[in-house]
Chain A
Amino acid sequence: MNDNFGPKPWHQTNWDFRAAFNFMFGSAGAGLLVAVAISGAAGNALRAEMLLGMALIGAGLLSVWFEIGRPLRAMNVGFNPFTSWMTRESFAAGLVFALGLAAVWFASLHLAQAAALAALVFAYCQGRILQAAKGIPAWRVPALIWLVFTTALAEGAGLFVALAVLADTPARGALGYFSLALIARVLAWSIYRGGVAKAAVRPALAALDRAGKMLVQLGTVAPLALLLVGWFVPEVARVLMPLAGVAALATGWQFKFVLITRAAYNQGFALPHLPVRGTR
């Protein structure tokens, strides 16, 4: 029998790494825009980080563009704002680019903050995109929305912290925000893990657990520990901070890569009743 045809759930084959990149780069970019806006950065630092955030979002969208069957019709993605979170994501992305570019042009923190709001919407849309996919039990768990959203915050903050070290020791406020984002993400993971246990099949759960373990240990505990050490031993902070940021970013990316390309088993088929052939 052709294994692709079930009836036990099998892994979806429609979205590959290209789709995963959108969720990896897009959320990191959106998160970075938020972190920049919160940090109160100004001038060229603001410009550079805003540009990087938008570039990441753009790279994610470009990656998806390479995956769609009819790339020349890409603009049709905007035709269904009424029900499609993919359309809404594209609108949010448009807004991010418009406001972000304006912020860069004017080096305006206010515009950057407005762009950050749009980026938050963008990150939320990404969560909703996955959650609306009813065919994938591991995705349709409502808690996934907030997990995707908080990974965006954590990845963006991590990236911001890592980049900030290039210029100077990050402000304590930024580190606090980063810590909060990490905690929010791990909490969201914990809630999601509780929900997905009832929905997903065993191989999907196994893949998620492996990625989740990394998210908790390397992506949460380790960076928080590094931050703590850096707090008390400032002389090593310049080394530890970027490590913490990269760990948060990398584990978030690997989690989403797994979510899209390893844990996305479909619904399969199941019968609530067996047919009665002749007699019971």
Chain B
Amino acid sequence: MNAPEPAAAALAAYGKRATYCYQCVAGPDLLTVKVVDGVATEVEPNFAACGVHPGGGKVCVKAYGLVQKTYNPNRVLTPMRRTNPNKGRNEDPGFVPISWAEALDTIAAKLRSVREAGLLDASGYPKVAANFGGGGTPQSYMGTFPAFLAAWGPVDMGFGSGQGVKCTHSEHLYGEFWHRAFPVCPDTPMCNYVISCGANSEASGGVVGVWRHANARERGMKRVQIEPHLSITGACSAEWVPIKPKTDPAFLYALIHVMLHESARERLDLPFLKQHTNSPYLVGANGFFLRDAATKKPLLWDLNCNAAVTYDTPDCDPALEGAFACDAVEIGPDEAVLAQGRLEGSPSFAKLVEHVRPYSPEWAAEICDVPAATMRRIANEYLDHAQVGATIEIEGKTLPYRPVSVSLGKTVNNGWGGFECVWARTLLAVLVGALEVPGGTLGTTVRLNRPLSERHESVKPGPDGFMHYPMNPTDREHWSARPNIRNAYRTMVPLAANGPWSQALGPTHFSWMFQKETPKGLPTVTLPEVWFVYRTNPAISFWDTKGVSATMARFPFVVAMAYTRDETNHMADILLPDATDLESLQLIRIGGSKYIEQFWEHEGYALRQPVVAAQGEARDFPDIATELARRTGLLEQYNAAINRGAGGVRLKGASWYFSLDPKVAHGRDEIWDAVCKAASAELSDGKEVHDLAWWKENGLATKPFPHADWYLFPTLAAQGLRFEVPYQERLYRIGKELGNRLHEHDMQWWNEQLAEYQTLPKWKDFPGLWEKSLLKMGGTTKDFPFWLLTSRSMQYSWGNNVGIQMIREVADNISGHRGVIINTGTAEKLGIAEGDPVEIATPLNNVSARAVVRQGIRPDTLLLIGQFSHWATPFAKDFGVPSMNSLVPMSMELTDATGSGADVVRVSLKRSGVGK
């Protein structure tokens, strides 16, 4: 017997079935799969969707691997139990097949025993942990498993598998803080000039990113790629500027310097700065806003009446520059009154002008290894293209039109320097009024603010005329001294907020790092008693892979949903074969504005449906989740969670009711039938109800999503809210408060991170931080002269598809998939030829690779694409391609204030077999 549902048997043997692929964050792609004689044969775009999908309904290369994924002979196709109690890389797990009943009974028994003893351990951490990879994409495959987790109670989802170091972390936190922008991207269809600091939209922007940028290129949009190597995106740009790694803040600061010190003020969007930012807010001697003594509202200087007025005074003409004295109060951290009475202050814009005075292109040229003239030209081209003052009509609304943007890549965004880059990027937009307006720099979705994914609804008034932001509290009364999970995001990272996604946005490497030694002030970090793993492989995808593997080998009970054997499930106790992409059923929300470049003019739902019968004994997730809920006595809570919307849609609406009977275990199709009906009712305001059969036939249904909703500016303006840029009084305050709290608990180990909370971020020697770390590891810059970087691969990113032969084959057509990319001149100097075996080393570790000799990379930089170095995953373990993850250590000193670190490490390089 395969799945409990008989649906598989009823599948048509011939025809095309509509489904989706959401293997990467740039999805979903809507597709059809051709079935011949009961066998899936061919993936094609769902041509019926090309009218609603912003990428012409096309499908990414990764989806073409799904057929082979289904029939991969290396799949785990029965539940398995570990027979070797010893865990470790060199231990054979001794997996033996067992029945589903035995597997589920074993897991349920373990869960029940955990529950009986209490959900939290002695340190207060959840005993159950779960890891899902791929930037949230597993949620589009795991059906009702979230309902099971919701029914369970506290679960630690903060063990990193790449979060914080492989995402665009600073952008997520600061972007969402400043403009509800979890990811950020240009308004590509209308933008004319993009400065891209390492953003790799052509490799990681998915179908929609590629589609939109190709259109923009043909239209004449100029993109300048600032990056140490000539990436796919660099290749497709008008210009490539090979910058020294981790010096992007200096580059961006130089652009700002040119705009503020070498260009006429009128070239900036002065009305925007005055009315829609905190540029005119007066700043006192202590760095905090000068406030009205009575209302505590920030003050600005009104040129009309030559007096200080509160920021919300109508019809004033605030000064942006100068120094002014007024009656005010200056309030610091923890409500401390720092000064009051007649105080002198300057607009924050004036502070900004002074702040960037030293950051000239000549200054930056030394740091970035980019000619000053290039930076000056780029700054002026940016201004030339900004069209300050222009407007455009969209759906009847007249909006500012500023076709310039700045985008940032992963390593630019992560770790030290990330804050400075995101601030500078946001500032570059703000200076010309290009933030959240047509043509400019846009946020795509929200993950930390609520309601989740609803950008416009998340805009609510907060303090001082800015948007509300759900900071983790830093005041004495509410600060969380006892973290709720092991990575301590609520305690250490106020900006991480406390929503469903926050656990993954804290310092997720702490969960691994602190297993060795918990720093002072935090409860001892413990092992989870039960760990669920699905579509993630932290033993490969995080840093210090050896250490992470060794730690997870100590986890007492690991349940892995296993497609094939891999490096993480090598440590599992139970393997569960889940039905894969073309074998399982789920309805998901599509459209609106989503990750990366996913800006739709439609929104609705799409169905993923079994195209062919599940192979072997693989089971669909709802069947697994329902059984676990039933066997752990959580069925009612589980069904209630589904009814509340844990399956993606609330089953009860204003005029519809499809809720499930909470007392009964429901089959997969029954659950999705209810979800489908609720979704179609929601889409049509209750007018139409379509069942699962209808959705299987049609695949998707949408309604229009206003183009104007891509832009947040009108929503802020309507509420009289300002962008909290350029001056960071609030961040400075919470940083000070956080410092007070930590020091009150004698926690001194976060002091360097606390220094990141600045009103106007200063340039620090960011590359020097990695060089210092190298010294600490016992190396010198002379002996380890190269910067090792990584870059995403279009064919592999997020895809969990290293075991697919066809993906491997086609990816090989792109340079770098077989080894380490080395500059031609460097290779010649070192006597290295194409294909030669080389050794890349840090003072602590080394890996072997084949040389890929290319012109398009800086002589001081090496590049390892993707994350390989597999040793257990069938097929992939024979690649012989290393990963930088094996070389990058986890360290406190390279963790920034948001809890993030960057994919950078200093290394040596030599031809294998050659002495030092």
User: Which A residues are within 8 Å of any B CB, using their own CB?
Assistant: 1-3, 5, 277-280
Supposing A278-B217, A279-B220 touch, asked if A1 and B238 sit within 8 A by C-beta, the answer is: no
Give Cα A279–Cα B216 distance, bound, in whole angstroms: 11
Additional pairs, 13, CB under 8 Å, beyond known A1-B814, A1-B815, A2-B813: A1-B852, A2-B818, A5-B813, A277-B236, A277-B237, A278-B216, A278-B217, A278-B220, A278-B222, A278-B237, A278-B238, A279-B222, A280-B238
Give Cα A268–Cα B816 distance, bound, in whole angstroms: 20
Give Cα A280–Cα B815 distance, bound, in whole angstroms: 25
Whether A278 pairs with B813 at a CB distance below 8 angstroms is no
27 contacts across the A-B interface (CB closer than 8 A): A1-B812, A1-B813, A1-B815, A1-B816, A1-B817, A1-B818, A1-B852, A2-B812, A2-B813, A3-B834, A3-B835, A5-B813, A277-B217, A277-B223, A277-B236, A277-B237, A278-B216, A278-B220, A278-B221, A278-B222, A278-B223, A278-B237, A278-B238, A279-B220, A279-B222, A279-B238, A280-B238
Q: How far is the CB of B497 from chain A (nearest CB, A)?
A: 38
Inside 8 A of B216's CB, which chain A residues have their CB? 278
Nearest to B835 among chain A residues (CB) is: A3
- Pick the residue among B238, B814, B816, B834 that contacts A277 (CB under 8 A): B238
Inside 8 A of B237's CB, which chain A residues have their CB? 277-278
Give Cα A5–Cα B220 distance, bound, in whole angstroms: 32
Give Cα A278–Cα B217 distance, bound, in whole angstroms: 4
Give Cα A1–Cα B236 distance, bound, in whole angstroms: 19
Give Cα A1–Cα B237 distance, bound, in whole angstroms: 22
Inside 8 A of B817's CB, which chain A residues have their CB? 1
Inside 8 A of A3's CB, which chain B residues have their CB? 834-835
Q: How far is the CB of A133 from chain B (nearest CB, A)?
A: 25
Inside 8 A of B834's CB, which chain A residues have their CB? 3
Give Cα A1–Cα B815 distance, bound, in whole angstroms: 5
Nearest to B223 among chain A residues (CB) is: A278
User: Which B residues are within 8 Å of any A CB, using their own CB?
Assistant: 216-217, 220-223, 236-238, 812-818, 834-835, 852
Inside 8 A of B221's CB, which chain A residues have their CB? 278
Q: How far is the CB of A223 from chain B (nearest CB, A)?
A: 40
Going nearest first, the 10 A-B pairs with the smallest beta carbon separation are: A278-B238, A279-B222, A2-B812, A278-B222, A1-B815, A278-B217, A279-B238, A278-B221, A277-B217, A277-B238
Interface centre among A1, A3, A5, A280 (most CB of B within 10 A): A1
Give Cα A277–Cα B815 distance, bound, in whole angstroms: 20
Interface centre among A1, A278, A280 (most CB of B within 10 A): A278
Give Cα A279–Cα B222 distance, bound, in whole angstroms: 6
Inside 8 A of A280's CB, which chain B residues have their CB? 238
Nearest to B216 among chain A residues (CB) is: A278
Give Cα A280–Cα B217 distance, bound, in whole angstroms: 11
Inside 8 A of B815's CB, which chain A residues have their CB? 1
Inside 8 A of B835's CB, which chain A residues have their CB? 3
Give Cα A2–Cα B819 distance, bound, in whole angstroms: 11
Inside 8 A of A2's CB, which chain B residues have their CB? 812-813, 818
Inside 8 A of A278's CB, which chain B residues have their CB? 216-217, 220-223, 237-238
Inside 8 A of A5's CB, which chain B residues have their CB? 813
Q: How far is the CB of B851 from chain A (nearest CB, A)?
A: 12
Nearest to B810 among chain A residues (CB) is: A2
Q: How far is the CB of B167 from chain A (nearest CB, A)?
A: 27
Nearest to B219 among chain A residues (CB) is: A278
Give Cα A279–Cα B852 distance, bound, in whole angstroms: 30
Give Cα A1–Cα B238 distance, bound, in whole angstroms: 24
Q: How far is the CB of A1 from chain B (nearest CB, A)?
A: 5
Give Cα A2–Cα B221 distance, bound, in whole angstroms: 33
Q: How far is the CB of A203 from chain B (nearest CB, A)?
A: 13
Inside 8 A of B236's CB, which chain A residues have their CB? 277
Inside 8 A of A1's CB, which chain B residues have their CB? 812-818, 852
Give Cα A1–Cα B818 distance, bound, in whole angstroms: 6
Give Cα A1–Cα B865 distance, bound, in whole angstroms: 12
Inside 8 A of A279's CB, which chain B residues have their CB? 220, 222, 238
Q: How far is the CB of A11 from chain B (nearest CB, A)?
A: 15
Inside 8 A of B217's CB, which chain A residues have their CB? 277-278
Q: How far is the CB of A104 from chain B (nearest CB, A)?
A: 54
Inside 8 A of B852's CB, which chain A residues have their CB? 1
Q: How far is the CB of B102 from chain A (nearest CB, A)?
A: 45
Give Cα A278–Cα B237 distance, bound, in whole angstroms: 7
Q: How far is the CB of B249 from chain A (nearest CB, A)?
A: 25
Inside 8 A of A277's CB, which chain B residues have their CB? 217, 223, 236-238
Inside 8 A of B813's CB, which chain A residues have their CB? 1-2, 5
Q: How far is the CB of B878 from chain A (nearest CB, A)?
A: 15
Q: How far is the CB of B231 from chain A (nearest CB, A)?
A: 13
Give Cα A280–Cα B222 distance, bound, in whole angstroms: 9
Give Cα A1–Cα B793 distance, bound, in whole angstroms: 13
Nearest to A4 among chain B residues (CB) is: B812
Give Cα A279–Cα B385 distance, bound, in whole angstroms: 13
Nearest to A280 among chain B residues (CB) is: B238
Q: How far is the CB of B693 from chain A (nearest CB, A)?
A: 46
Q: How far is the CB of B396 from chain A (nearest CB, A)?
A: 31
Q: How far is the CB of A243 from chain B (nearest CB, A)?
A: 41
Interface centre among A2, A277, A279 (most CB of B within 10 A): A277
Nearest to B854 among chain A residues (CB) is: A1
Give Cα A3–Cα B853 distance, bound, in whole angstroms: 12
Q: How far is the CB of B193 from chain A (nearest CB, A)?
A: 9
Give Cα A2–Cα B238 distance, bound, in whole angstroms: 27
Give Cα A277–Cα B194 distance, bound, in whole angstroms: 13
Give Cα A278–Cα B195 distance, bound, in whole angstroms: 13
Give Cα A278–Cα B216 distance, bound, in whole angstroms: 7
Q: How far is the CB of B639 from chain A (nearest CB, A)?
A: 52
Inside 8 A of B238's CB, which chain A residues have their CB? 277-280
Nearest to B809 among chain A residues (CB) is: A2
